[in-house]
Amino acid sequence: MKEINAFQTSDGLVFTSERSAEEHQQDIIGVMLDGLVPDDDRGNVTRVDRHNILTKMIKDPTLGQKILALHNALSHGE
């Protein structure tokens, strides 16, 4: 038997490539963020604009801190 390095994403999938695991994890985060950004019923925000906004959010190194702060604010007083 041979020992290997593997990477597990938050949805439980296992990858032998760190890059593949990171890309999949970003996809998971993107889907979750997409659910937070409402659709613009007036048509002022195109799909490309929406994608660019979400991509920028995912690349923000402080995203985790911002989400934690939002969670704490939403949970305050419960």
pLDDT tier, 78 (very low <50, low <70, confident <90, very high otherwise): low
Q: At residue 53, does pLDDT exceed 70?
A: yes
Rounded to an integer, the average pLDDT of 18-42 is 86
Q: At residue 16, does pLDDT exceed 70?
A: yes
**Domain ranges in the chain?**
7-75
Instruction: Decide if 41 contacts 29 (C-beta within 8 A).
Output: no
Residues 18, 5: Cα–Cα separation, whole Å: 9
The predicted structure's pLDDT at residue 9: 94
User: C-alpha dihedral over 17, 22, 23, 24, to 10 degrees?
Assistant: 90
Q: At residue 13, does pLDDT exceed 80?
A: yes
Residues 62, 68: Cα–Cα separation, whole Å: 10
